[in-house]
Amino acid sequence: MSGLHPNLFVVGAMKAGTTALHGYLDQHPEIFMSDPKEPGFFARADRTDAAREAYLALFADGAGARYRGESSTQYTKAPAIAGVPDRLARFAPQAHILYMVREPAARVISQYLFNIRIHGEQRPLCQAVRADPRYRQIGDYEGQIRPYLDRFGADRVHILSAERLSTDRQAVMDEIFDWLGLAPAPLAQELRKNTSIDGVRRHGRLTAWALRAEIEPLRRLVKRIGAEGLARRAWARFNPPAPAPVRPEEITELRAMLAEETNRQQAALAPLMGARTPDWSSTDG
């Protein structure tokens, strides 16, 4: 492959704050992050040469950066999407890997709301989680990140929590910059998070259409001309938020359902994260 190669990958987890992390990384003068955020190139094994060149073209403007990165949550969706760590390791064996975790019930709820918005999920929350193993598989943090640890080594895999990034973003990002061998950099602004709660709208089909991959060039054009804020206000006016589709008693039931898994995940993450291990004994993380 010709062109500049990425060497920094945010690999997930889905609905754990990767959009904010991507934006914060992009604020460092020595880091260039892709636009779009989630090219998902390594999620498939059958990429053509033309697809490879198009992927590398995303990083053409990062020639002066020490790190060029992307953030594709498809990279930790095994077993539905398999083989990503091997493909990524063959492509960039010296890459640095970032992986975000989030309190399991909160992450599942966000995924559920995303599925309502995009995939037409109609089952009640707990019924959906019982019926579809992907809700739990994507939240198997230790299982999803272990292949990256095996292939890249613990020194090039950094695990962080969405809860701490939300409450102490500058300190967390300075730790990441230090891990990357970079100087600290002040963050210019707190970035808007890409959450499913924000996205559950009155007109569900319109929302699903607007988020299709084919619309990405239009979204990028809106950003380039500086009209993103105007477009967001117009969107909120003509497609306002819908009532929350999850009742408090459903959340209580879900937390009870996931209690054993939550404890197991926290115990598995402790030796990998050390002092950064989140405390999920309360809903605050």
Show me where the domains of the chain are located.
8-200+244-276
pLDDT reported for residue 197? 44
pLDDT reported for residue 209? 59
pLDDT reported for residue 1? 42
Q: Which CATH architecture has domain 8-200+244-276?
A: 3-Layer(aba) Sandwich (3.40)
pLDDT reported for residue 118? 84
User: Distance between CA atoms of 232 and 91, rounded to whole angstroms?
Assistant: 37
The tokens describing 26, both together, are 């992009």
Helix (H) or strand (E) holding 127: helix 125-131
pLDDT reported for residue 55? 97
User: Distance between CA atoms of 5 and 1, rounded to whole angstroms?
Assistant: 9
Q: Would you say how long the chain is, in residues?
A: 285
Q: Are the beta carbons of 140 and 265 closer than 8 angstroms?
A: yes
pLDDT reported for residue 240? 63
pLDDT reported for residue 20? 96
pLDDT reported for residue 203? 53
pLDDT reported for residue 222? 67
pLDDT reported for residue 131? 98
pLDDT reported for residue 45? 95
The tokens describing 230, both together, are 């105007």
pLDDT reported for residue 2? 47
pTM score of the predicted model? 0.84
Q: Which residues of the chain have pLDDT under 70?
A: 1-3, 189-216, 219-223, 231, 235-236, 238-244, 283-285
Name the nearest CA neighbour of 112 among 246, 262, 280: 246
Q: Are the beta carbons of 145 and 78 closer than 8 angstroms?
A: no
- By CB atoms closer than 10 A (0-12, 13-18, 19+), residue 211 is middle
